[in-house]
Structure 1
Amino acid sequence: MTETIWFAALGLLKLAGAALRHPSRRFVLWALAAVVLLGFPVAMLVISKIDDNPDFASPAVNGGRSRAVAVSAALITRELEGSRWRANDPFFLPGGWLRDMPAFQLGLVGGLAKLSAAMVAERGPGYGSLGPDSDLNNAAGLLKYPGTVWKFDTRTTWLPTASAEKQYRNAQRSLDRYNDYLAAGTASFERRAESLAVVLEAVIRELDDCTAAIDHHLALDPSPLLDFGVNKVFYGNKGRLYAHSIVLRELGRDFEAVLAERRQAEAWTRMVEQIAVAARLRPWMVWSGQPDSSLLPNHLTAQGYLTLRARMQAAELLAGLNIRKP
């Protein structure tokens, strides 16, 4: 296989050399190069879209459906159809050269995957008397699919394969189908304090993962001017935090009665707002300078501080939920 690739590359070089010897063909090649060099940056600016709208919501939810499940499906639809999925664009497309938007999208779907998995975990909202709901469980599994897989995944096979968009679209359909079954009364969504605590425990672990990613990157002590990985960490965390802020806001409405009963409604609102604040950070350029630098700030430490504040509030809320009624 390697020899075939080398022979193909040599053949292309020979064709390019032959074309450059003819003035008319040379002009075409130079024009094509100009289009690539000038058109790609412009196209990248046009298609790059990090949608961190804090007021994003799903259409009207009624009939016993879960607001958290509905907004999860709506977020997937928005990224696939509105923003367009860029995390798996190949190198010959402008999206393949983006960094911030793909990291944000991968983080967002990763956050949805963790929340969906928590819902079908034992004692979670989607875990009924017969075990985890099949549709919700299927969605949680599909959301774990690598978001960088295009129509071909040469790491495993040269044959066409299922793209990330296809798998995530199937996950969205499973979420909507689960909500339809809830409305029909043929599926269950346990609105108990114990079920909410299971999800909250997963949220705390996810916030810990965000800060761990920051710690790992800062431990490398990269030069601020040569740190080409800081954007991936920052926007990956931003996507995860954003997904949590939106879904948890709606989950609080699903469990409104439980939170009121345990007197934790205000604490839940504060936690969601704190996660939203952490997700809202969006500097024009991400730097990883020294924490006490006057010239180059460290946006990862700022993100980490806000994430730790949200984590502290989530831990306090979890303790409040686990308090039994007298």
Structure 2
Amino acid sequence: MLDRIAGFFRLIGQTIGRWARLFSAWAFWPFLAAHGWYQRRSWMIRLPVIAFVALLVALYGYFFLQTQVWTNFNPAFVDQYRLSERKVAAGQEVPAAEGANTTAPKTCQRSAIVDVAADLTDFNVNQNAWISSMLLYKMGFFGIDWDHTPFLDNKASFQRGVNQAVRRTSAELVDTLGRVRGTSGINNDLQSARGNLQFDENSWYFGLNPFGPKTPTPSYYRSAIGSLRKFNTDLALCNVIFDGRADNLMQFIDRIANDLGGTSDMLAERSENHNRGWFDTRADDRFWFAYGQLYGYYAIMAAAQADFSQVLAERNLGAIWGGTMRQFQSALRIQPAIISNGREDGWIMPSHLATMGFYILRVRSNLVEVRSVLDR
């Protein structure tokens, strides 16, 4: 009896060993064949091959470094603006200091929302490389899209989540916040910023559809940064408008809540239908996209608190707004090293997507509550 059991396990071991040898032969055969071909060639052929391999190693080394190092990643970076020290809402005239020259030109309060949107984009494309349009990211892993693998794609998903928040904000700046509705034209700088931020996230210097050279994505986003900062410079000189009315804030919050609702649905769909635990290679993409979106919206909502300070005071929204910000902070503390998409009632493999979805819904419910108060 024991001999048969031992024989069974030996058979399993032999089968595994045979398949491992076959896989190794399949995986290393191209390299062995290339080595044999290389050995039979002259140095006129070898040197270009060496240069190509060295270039490839350098490019992949740079790509690996850029995907793993998140420069200046800080969910609480908005604290650096010291927004609580602002005395007036965005677009309003800043009172002159005591003893100041009364003939000095007047100045208006800059928009914290615009500053944050510009700095989030700067964080994405200047302080870090924009991963989604890098050549090696577009080439994939032996032809497999990096988003379908469990590695080297988290930063790209996070950046796209941040960009989603900035895109939504830029649209609201153009349509409502940067103009007096129905009585003023669209601000050209904000319009330019919105157009550039809506540009395709995956463009490199050359593309196949359409075929030919292209302007890469980061160049468009850098142009958007300049346009946003120019608007704020003009706002500080009181040359443009920031319309900080309650109905504009209500609409802005409504759009953010809807955006987060879509993300929550995306997480729920993945969690319910693809709960493969540690082996779900798309779970990390969903998680870090949602995290990036919250990262961006947390900073933007903190900025909105300063820009609409008068509205919040008039509607007595301080406590509710503070609760909303605490929900954002709780969600942003979730930073697992490896994302698992297990069953919600599982005990070995956690469900990070369900956890993130829960916090997003908490944030969204607070936003809906803020909106309901503004709508009274």
Q: TM-score, normalised by structure 1?
A: 0.83
Structure 1 unaligned segments of length 5 or more: list them.
1-13
| Partner SS for 2:132 | coil
* In 2, Cα distance between equivalents of 1:168 and 1:38: 26
Partner of 1:188: 241
Aligned with residue 296 of structure 1, among 349, 353, 362: 349
Partner residue, 1:107: 161
- After superposition, the C-alpha distances for 1:98-118 in whole angstroms (9 at most, x for unaligned) are 200011111111110011212
Q: Match of 2:342, as an amino acid?
A: G
What residue number does 1:49 align with?
A: 69
1:144 is aligned to 2:190: no
Deviation, 1:223, is 2.2
Is residue 175 of structure 1 aligned with residue 228 of structure 2?
yes
CA distance in 1, matches of 2:354, 2:222: 35
Task: Assess if the C-alpha contact under 8 Å between 2:159 and 2:289 holds in 1.
Answer: yes
Matches within 5 A, 1:273-312: 273-312=326-365
Q: CA deviation at 1:59?
A: 6.0
Name the structure 2 match of 1:126.
178
Which SS does the other structure have where 2:213 is aligned?
coil
Name 1:260's counterpart in structure 2: 313
Tell me, in whole angstroms, the C-alpha distance in 2 between the residues paired with 1:190 and 1:272. Answer: 23
Match of 2:277 in 1: 224
2:189 aligned with 1:135, yes or no? yes
- Note if contact 2:125-2:218 (Cα within 8 Å) is conserved in structure 1: yes
Pairwise CA distance, 1:49: 3.1
Aligned to 2:126: 81
Q: Report the residue type matching 1:44 in the other structure.
A: F
Looking at structure 2, the residues matched to 270 and 95 of structure 1 have their Cα atoms a distance apart, in angstroms, of: 42
1:9 — aligned with what?
Answer: none
Q: Give the CA deviation at 1:92.
A: 7.5
Identity of aligned residues (%): 25
| Residues 299 and 171 of structure 1: CA distance in aligned 2, closer, same or farther (over 3 Å) | same
Give 1 or 2 for the bigger CA radius of gyration: 2
Aligned residues: 307
SS of corresponding position for 1:153: strand
Distance 1:92 1:84 in 2: 12
- CA distance in structure 1 between the partners assigned to 2:55 and 2:186 by the alignment: 53
Q: TM-score, normalised by structure 2?
A: 0.73
Task: Spell out, residue by residue over 1:147-204, the C-alpha distance to the aligned partner (whole angstroms, 9 max, x if none).
Answer: 21111222222x2112110110111111111111111222100111111111101111
1:11 equivalent in structure 2: none
**Distance in 2 of aligned mates of 1:297 and 1:264:** 36
Question: CA offset at residue 210 of structure 1?
Answer: 1.1
Paired amino acid for 2:200: P
In the other structure, the counterpart of 1:70 is 115
Q: Work out whether 1:214 is the aligned partner of 2:267.
A: yes
Does residue 234 of the first structure (1) align with residue 287 of the second (2)? yes
Name the residue aligned to 2:7: none
In structure 2, C-alpha distance between the alignment counterparts of 1:261 and 1:127, rounded to whole Å: 22
Q: CA deviation at 1:71?
A: 1.3
Aligned in 2, Cα 1:60/1:77: closer, same or farther, shift over 3 Å?
farther
How big is the shift at 1:247?
1.0
The alignment partner of 1:132 has SS state of coil
- Kept after mapping to 2: 8 A contact 1:242/1:276: no
Displacement of 1:41: 6.4
